[in-house]
A = this chain, B = another copy of it.
Amino acid sequence: MKSLAQNYRSQCPLSAALEMIGDKWSLLIVRDMCMGKSRYGDFQNSPEGIPSNILANRLRQLEENGIIKKQPYQTNPPRYEYLLSPKGADLLPVLQQLGLWAHRYVPGSMPPPDDFMAAKPEELLAGK
């Protein structure tokens, strides 16, 4: 996670948020994690087809920003999975609103899945 005295463009919370997650891919990874995905390969297999180097970079940034945590799930060979932190899980309401908005205004987009809309941040932490 970035150290304390972070210098953002302004003191506006929205602006700070966009400096962390304002791009085309970061929130898609968070979306996948909200849906139970946790491994590098899972994220790569999402239909949007994130390039591998971008994925590695975004996972690093999300971890630096305290939104996700990287944890080993086996030691031989060493392999890691990615889990939402409380900060990351609390992005769920944002994603839910954004999903609703897009479904309302983007012709041809699917409605957000029921389990996604019914989820709550607390449920996304440890016990899957």
Contact = CB atoms under 8 A, between A and B. Distances in A.
Interface residues of A, number: 50
Interface stretch (A8-16, A36-44, A68-76): A8-16
> How many copies make up the complex?
2
Interface string A97-121: 1111111111111111000000000
Given A9-B47, A15-B48, A22-B27, 14 more contacts: A5-B108, A8-B109, A10-B47, A12-B28, A13-B106, A13-B111, A14-B99, A14-B112, A17-B99, A18-B23, A22-B22, A22-B25, A23-B24, A66-B105
Interface of A: 4-6, 8-20, 22-25, 27-28, 31, 46-49, 66, 87, 90-91, 93-95, 97-112
